[in-house]
């Protein structure tokens, strides 16, 4: 798998996570993608470039808390991206998904889009999108 080639050093992992975070934030800010799509695309670009761009469309319904305001789209996109990057490793996918959700809840107090955006609107979404993508990249390159 592509992600296994990226487990070289903590410095490289940190630089990769930063690059993925910046890419996801940029995709969101461009207006071409919402949070779930941007996270998924940034992870795809670094970990599974063999996956067609069209696969990112699977994340289209998850923006804005799946249109209903529930789970944050960035977290949904990150969860999908873990499954894409770790294809077939269900136990590891579940472990990292739990870690992602716990981290997010610790950072933002909830995983619910409505709760998070009630505090400050969607102005924080680009940064959150980038941070989630960076965290997913960090999780994928951790031991």
> Can you give the pLDDT of all 143 residues of the chain as single tens digits?
344 444 444 558 889 999 999 999 999 999 999 999 999 999 999 999 999 999 999 998 888 778 777 899 999 999 999 999 999 899 999 999 999 999 999 999 999 999 998 888 889 999 999 999 999 999 999 86
Which residue in the block uniquely carries the two structure tokens 């993508």? 133
Residue 40 is encoded by which pair of tokens?
Answer: 């998924």
Q: Is residue 18 part of a domain?
A: yes
Looking at the domain assignment, is residue 2 inside a domain?
no
Q: Is residue 55 part of a domain?
A: no
**118 domain-assigned:** yes
What is the residue range of 75's domain?
7-49+62-141
130 occurs within a structural domain: yes
Q: Is residue 71 part of a domain?
A: yes
Res 2: pLDDT:
40
Asked, for residue 54, whether it belongs to a domain, the answer is no
- SS3 of residue 49 by DSSP: coil
Rounded CA-CA distance 56/38 in Å is 9
Total domain count for the chain? 1
The pTM for the full model equals 0.90
């Amino acid at each position: 798998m592509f992600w296994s080639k990226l487990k070289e050093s903590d410095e490289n992992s940190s630089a990769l996570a930063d690059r993925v975070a910046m890419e996801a934030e940029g995709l969101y800010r461009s207006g071409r993608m919402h949070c779930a799509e941007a996270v998924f695309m940034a992870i795809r670009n670094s970990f599974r470039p063999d996956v067609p761009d069209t696969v990112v469309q699977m994340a289209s319904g998850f923006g804005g808390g799946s249109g209903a305001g529930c789970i944050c789209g960035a977290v949904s996109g990150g969860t999908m991206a873990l499954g894409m990057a770790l294809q077939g490793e269900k136990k590891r996918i579940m472990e990292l998904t739990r870690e992602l959700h716990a981290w997010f809840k610790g950072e933002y107090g909830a995983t619910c889009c409505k709760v998070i955006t009630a505090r400050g609107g969607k102005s924080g979404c680009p940064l959150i999108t980038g941070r989630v993508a960076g965290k997913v990249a960090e999780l994928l390159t951790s031991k």
